[in-house]
Amino acid sequence: MNALTSQSDFLAETAAVRIAMAAPRSRFSLRLRENLAPFEAALGLSLGGPLGSRASAGERETLRLGPDEWMLHTSLADAGAVEAALSALYATQPHSLVNVSAREVSFVIDGPRAAELLTLGCPRDIAKIAPGSGRRTVFDGVTVILWRDAPDAFRIDCWNSFAPHILDLLKTGARELAAEAP
Point out the residues of the chain with pLDDT beneath 70.
Answer: 1-9, 181-182
Three-state secondary-structure class, residue 45: coil
pLDDT of residue 180: 85
Note whether 120 and 56 are within 8 A (CB).
Answer: no
pTM of the model: 0.90
| Domains parsed from the chain with CATH numbers | 7-23+104-179 (3.30.1360.120), 26-102 (3.30.70.1520)
pLDDT of residue 5: 47
Q: Which residues contact 111 (CB under 8 A, 6 or more apart)?
A: 14, 15, 16, 17, 18, 117, 152
DSSP-assigned states of every residue in 61-99: EEEEEETTEEEEEE-GGGHHHHHHHHHTTTTTS-EEEEE
Task: For 6-38, write each residue's pLDDT tens digit.
Answer: 444 678 999 999 999 999 999 999 999 889 999
pLDDT of residue 3: 52
pLDDT of residue 34: 81
